Chain A
Amino acid sequence: MNRKAIFAATGLALLAVFPLAVQNPYVLHLLIMTLLWVLLGQAWNLLGGFTGQISYGHAAFFGVGAYTTGILVKSGLSPAAAWSGLLLGGLMAALIASVIGWICFRLRGPYFSLSVLALAEVLRLVAVNWKQLTNGAEGILYIPAFRSKAHYYWIILAIAALAFVVIRAVMRSKLGFYFLSIREDQDAAESLGIDATKYKLYSLLISAFFTGAAGSFYMNYLGFIDPGIVFSIADISIMMILVTILGGAATLAGPIVGAVIYILVSEFFRVWFKSGHLIFFGILIIVIIIFFPAGIVGTIKERRAGRKLRRAGAARESAAA
């Protein structure tokens, strides 16, 4: 346990000082995007991997967060800083999530998934059509405040680390156990007196908050959003799921691994093949689901657990012999 903590702390420290050593904007950009996807993966994982509620519409929260910040800056209520609207974006996303949750949590399984997807699409159409508020399809653009990427890097690192700490703490608490029990068998959990809807909502609120914060950050960092980008099913909702299952749903390290691979692969394909990364992701999804359904981290954990059992069994045998 302690080894893990030291390892994690060292890793975090290294990450924190990285931009002091490396100033190359391109490298920093890749790291920032990776951290963004670590954040997104973790957020989805809480609701999907740990609580078993598969949402195909998390782009709704990302978009709400992004537009919260965008509208704040556009209307002059907030300067175009790297942290503009982060908190508010997360809160707005959580607010929308409470509405969506209230509507959709009566539904189970695939019906829940599809209804969130449907509502995310409705939000996208609202963003396209409510032009006075969102600029519609023209999108919102402003020049990012900081020229150096380091500030953005530290902010996303802080949020991603915060999400990690919070989610880890939640999963170790009673709340986490309730989430897991709901995932395993909602009816059994309810028969034990767990208010499934309440706890699903908690999970969703935390998940949406971090997703919204990620969206806000995205707006600040890239300086440009439009409804098709931030509410995108294919680029945001589905990729959040991919990142999580690639690394391993229901593990804490899974989204980290998944995000790293996602960004690396995307960039690799973009540079060397100009295109084709989507086919690769499609094949990757298929391969993972068929052969490594627990994702990379999950499969490793299973194998280690299997090895431990076998070693324990062998030890017992040799002791008995």
Chain B
Amino acid sequence: MSPQLAGQIELLGQVLISGILLGGLYALIGLGMSLIMGVMKIINLAHGELMMVAMYMTYWAFTLWHVDPYVSLLIVCPLMFLLGVAIQKFLITPVMEAESILPQNQVLLTVGIGLVLANLALLLFTANYRSVPVSYASKTIYWDLKLGGQTISLSISYPFLTAFGIAVLLGAALFLFLGMTDLGRMIRATAQDKRAAALMGINTRKITYITFGIGAALVGAAGALLDPVYYLYPQIGGPFTNKAFVITILGGLGNIPGAVLGGLVLGLAESLGSVYVSLGYKDAFGFIIFVLVLIFLPRGLLGKGRAQ
């Protein structure tokens, strides 16, 4: 095999690995929004800012008390759950139940919440970039393959791999939770038909609180996992909110395996697109796929989501 061909194979291999690992993290970010959108039909445009809050929590836990980000998952997720419940209970539910001309008031409300969160962080923590320099931040697993006389070296980032693994675990846990527990069934029932669920005796209001809480906890976990490999500043949320709704639509609302698949698709689209098409348009690929899926596959990639 020629070195050039080996180089191209190595490139493709590395790009695929990057796409998949990143996709897992994206999936975790999208899971929360998919759940929220599936149950409450509201787009949470503050999703990225919730992630930002969790990232700051993880940062401070690390900086002040040397808590490893993976350990702080145990603290951050419950805290984010409580924050999510509070936001839903005190801000969003009053709006959902009020009459208004504009059909989208809840969404606009989340815009306001996002603005407040981001700028509060800016006020409290300044615009300085922060990072969580754990010792294993750059730890890499090297995978050398021998093909046709050439060696192909693929590198897998350890923190990314861990994030991917935890994301998949959380996705699976969520799936099982929704499928097998009573609370999970109540959530799915509320998602399918709120009025019918209420008629069945389900406290749909409480379900919405819990759902938002879980969604916040999930994106909080994503934030904690992102801290070691990325960096942190108050306005970090926006692009991730965009990715979250792309993933949500790709997967179909409320469809957990769909959201995971959607995350992978987005990660791969970005990786492959940035190398083989154009680096500058990397972010556009996700959006274009998003619009195409919306039009041609309204039930999401797996065909199992809720159509509009």
Binding site for B on A (CB under 8 A): 48-49, 52, 54, 103-104, 106-111, 113-115, 117-119, 121-122, 125-126, 128-129, 183, 233-234, 238, 241, 245, 249-250, 275-276, 278-279, 281-286, 289-290, 293-294, 298
Give B249-308 interface residues, CB cut-off 8 Å to A.
249, 278, 280-281, 283-284, 287-288, 290-291, 294-295, 308
In the complex, how many residue pairs between chain A and chain B have their CB atoms under 8 Å apart? 133
A103 engages B105 (CB within 8 Å): no
A115 engages B280 (CB within 8 Å): no
Name 9 interchain pairs, CB-CB below 8 A, sorted by A. Answer: A107-B294, A111-B308, A114-B43, A121-B287, A125-B280, A126-B284, A128-B280, A241-B111, A285-B112
Give the shortest distance, in Å, between A184 (CB) and chain B (any CB): 9
Instruction: Say if the beta carbon of B120 comes within 8 Å of chain A.
Output: yes
Interfacial chain B residues near A234, Cβ < 8 Å: 238
Nearest CB in chain A to that of B98: its residue: A293
Interfacial chain A residues near B294, Cβ < 8 Å: 107, 111, 114-115
B287 engages A122 (CB within 8 Å): yes
Known: A279-B120, A282-B115, A289-B105. A114 touches B91 (CB 8 A): no
Interfacial chain A residues near B107, Cβ < 8 Å: 54, 110, 113
B102 engages A49 (CB within 8 Å): yes
Nearest CB in chain B to that of A244: its residue: B102
Interfacial chain A residues near B102, Cβ < 8 Å: 48-49, 52, 54, 245, 249-250, 293
Binding site for A on B (CB under 8 A): 37, 41-43, 91, 94-95, 98-105, 107-109, 111-120, 122-123, 238, 242, 245-246, 249, 278, 280-281, 283-284, 287-288, 290-291, 294-295, 308
How far, in angstroms, from A245 to B102 measured CA to CA in the complex?
A: 9
Interfacial chain B residues near A114, Cβ < 8 Å: 43, 245, 249, 290, 294
B104 engages A113 (CB within 8 Å): yes
B95 engages A290 (CB within 8 Å): yes
Q: Which listed residue (A113, A250, A276, A286) contacts B109, Cβ 8 A?
A: A286
Interfacial chain B residues near A298, Cβ < 8 Å: 101
Give the shortest distance, in Å, between A85 (CB) and chain B (any CB): 26
B101 engages A49 (CB within 8 Å): yes
How far, in angstroms, from A279 to B98 measured CA to CA in the complex?
A: 24
Nearest CB in chain A to that of B45: its residue: A56
Classify the interface of chain B: helix, strand, loop or mixed: helix
Nearest CB in chain B to that of A131: its residue: B280
B278 engages A278 (CB within 8 Å): no
B116 engages A289 (CB within 8 Å): no
Give the shortest distance, in Å, between B68 (CB) and chain A (any CB): 32
Interfacial chain B residues near A126, Cβ < 8 Å: 284
A289 engages B95 (CB within 8 Å): yes
How far, in angstroms, from A119 to B283 measured CA to CA in the complex?
A: 11
How far, in angstroms, from A4 to B283 measured CA to CA in the complex?
A: 49
Chain A to chain B: the 7 pairs with minimum beta-carbon distance, closest first = A285-B112, A282-B115, A282-B116, A118-B287, A293-B100, A129-B280, A279-B119
Nearest CB in chain A to that of B91: its residue: A286
Interfacial chain B residues near A111, Cβ < 8 Å: 249, 294, 308
How far, in angstroms, from A282 to B99 measured CA to CA in the complex?
A: 21
B119 engages A129 (CB within 8 Å): no
Give the shortest distance, in Å, between B209 (CB) and chain A (any CB): 17
Interfacial chain A residues near B238, Cβ < 8 Å: 233-234
Nearest CB in chain B to that of A237: its residue: B111
How far, in angstroms, from A49 to B105 measured CA to CA in the complex?
A: 11
Known: A125-B280, A293-B98. A110 touches B112 (CB 8 A): no
Q: Which listed residue (B37, B119, B287) contacts A278, Cβ 8 A?
A: B119
Interfacial chain A residues near B112, Cβ < 8 Å: 281-286, 289
How far, in angstroms, from A303 to B265 measured CA to CA in the complex?
A: 51
Known: A109-B308, A250-B101, A285-B109. A118 touches B246 (CB 8 A): yes
B308 engages A279 (CB within 8 Å): no
Interfacial chain B residues near A125, Cβ < 8 Å: 280-281, 283-284
